[in-house]
Structure 1
Amino acid sequence: MGLGSLVIAFAPAIGPVYGGIVLKYYSWQTLFILIIPIILVIWLLGEFSITQKFNVFSISFDYRGGITLTGLLITTLLLIVSTASKSNYRIFLLLIAIICCILFIYFEKNNKNYIIDISLFKNRQFDIFLISFFLLQLMSLSMSYLMPNVLEIIFHLSTAKTGLLVLPAAVIDAIMSAVAGIIYDKLNHNFPILLGEGLICVSFLLANIISVAPINLIIIYSIFMFGLGLSYSNIMTRSLANLPIQSTNDGNVIYMTAQSYSGAMGTAIAASILTFTQNDYFNFINGTLAGLKINFKVLFFLSIIVLIFCTTIILRDKKND
Structure 2
Amino acid sequence: MSGGSGCADFHLYPEYLIWQSVLRSEILQEERVSTQTNLSIAAAALLSFIGILTETSLNVTFTTMTHEFGLPLSTIQLLTSGYLLMVTIVMSTSAFLLKRFDTRPLFRCAVVVSIVGTVLCCLPLDYWLLLLARLLQAAATGISTPLLIHAILSLVPISRRGTYIGLANMVTSFAPALGPTYGGLINHYFSWRIIFVLTLPLLVIAWILGETNLRLKAKGADESFDGIGLVLLSLFMVSFTQIFDQIGVNGGWSYRVGIAIGASVLLLGLFVWRCLNAKWPLLDLRLLCKPIVALRGVNYAVLQFINIGSSFLLPVFAENLLGIDSLTAGLMLLPGSLLGAFIAPLVGKVYDRRGPTLVLLISNSSLLVGAVALWFMTDKASVVLLALLYMFLRAGFNFGYGNTMSDASKFVPVERQTNFNSLFNVLQQYAGSLGTSVLSSSLSLSEAHFPDDIKVASIDGGENAFALLIGLSVVALVLTLVSVRIRKHQPVQMHSVGE
TM-score class normalised by the smaller sequence: over 0.9
1:87-125 CA deviation, whole Å, 9 max, x = no partner? 321221122112212222232323223211121121121
Secondary structure of the residue aligned to 1:106 is helix
Counterpart in the other structure of 2:434 = 265
**Aligned partner of 1:252: which letter?**
N
| Structure 1 residue 49, shift from structure 2 partner | 5.2
| Structure 1 residue 190, shift from structure 2 partner | 2.1
1:197 aligns with 2:361: no
**Aligned partner of 1:27: which letter?**
S
CA distance in 2, matches of 1:159, 1:275: 19
| Structure 1 residue 192, shift from structure 2 partner | 1.1
CA distance in 1, matches of 2:218, 2:399: 35
Out of 301, 304, 309, the position equivalent to 1:134 is 301
| Structure 1 residue 320, shift from structure 2 partner | 7.1
CA distance in 2, matches of 1:255, 1:194: 20
Counterpart in the other structure of 2:424 = 255
Q: CA RMSD in A?
A: 2.0
Counterpart in the other structure of 1:289 = 459
**Aligned partner of 2:455: which letter?**
I
Counterpart in the other structure of 1:68 = 232
Counterpart in the other structure of 2:347 = 180
| Structure 1 residue 317, shift from structure 2 partner | 2.4
1:23 aligns with 2:187: yes
Q: Which has the larger radius of gyration?
A: 2
- Alignment: residue pair count: 321
Is contact 2:411–2:490 with CA below 8 Å preserved after alignment?
A: no
- TM alignment of 1:1-321, pairs within 5 A: 3-48=167-212, 50-52=214-216, 55-57=219-221, 59-84=223-248, 85-86=251-252, 87-210=254-377, 211-281=380-450, 282-318=452-488
In structure 2, the gaps of 5 or more residues are: 1-164, 492-499
Is contact 1:3–1:181 with CA below 8 Å preserved after alignment?
A: no
Is contact 2:291–2:486 with CA below 8 Å preserved after alignment?
A: no
CA distance in 2, matches of 1:187, 1:25: 47
Greater relative contact order, per chain length (Cα 8 Å cut-off, separation 6+)? 1
**Aligned partner of 2:238: which letter?**
I
Q: Which moved more, 1:174-183 or 1:83-92?
A: 83-92
| Structure 1 residue 315, shift from structure 2 partner | 3.1
| Structure 1 residue 165, shift from structure 2 partner | 1.9
Is contact 1:151–1:157 with CA below 8 Å preserved after alignment?
A: yes
Sequence identity, in percent? 23
| Structure 1 residue 3, shift from structure 2 partner | 4.6
Is contact 2:183–2:195 with CA below 8 Å preserved after alignment?
A: yes
Q: Which moved more, 1:8-17 or 1:41-50?
A: 41-50
Is contact 1:2–1:180 with CA below 8 Å preserved after alignment?
A: no
From the superposition, tell whether residues 81 and 58 of structure 1 become closer, same or farther in structure 2 (CA, over 3 Å): same
| Structure 1 residue 181, shift from structure 2 partner | 1.0
Counterpart in the other structure of 2:14 = none
| Structure 1 residue 184, shift from structure 2 partner | 1.1
Is contact 2:247–2:445 with CA below 8 Å preserved after alignment?
A: no
In structure 1, the gaps of 5 or more residues are: none
**Aligned partner of 2:344: which letter?**
S
CA distance in 1, matches of 2:319, 2:335: 17
**Aligned partner of 2:271: which letter?**
F
| Structure 1 residue 301, shift from structure 2 partner | 0.9
Is contact 1:108–1:116 with CA below 8 Å preserved after alignment?
A: yes
Secondary structure of the residue aligned to 1:28 is coil
From the superposition, tell whether residues 275 and 284 of structure 1 become closer, same or farther in structure 2 (CA, over 3 Å): same
1:177-200 CA deviation, whole Å, 9 max, x = no partner? 111111112333321111111111
CA distance in 1, matches of 2:273, 2:324: 51
| Structure 1 residue 51, shift from structure 2 partner | 4.0
CA distance in 1, matches of 2:279, 2:298: 26
Is contact 1:152–1:159 with CA below 8 Å preserved after alignment?
A: yes
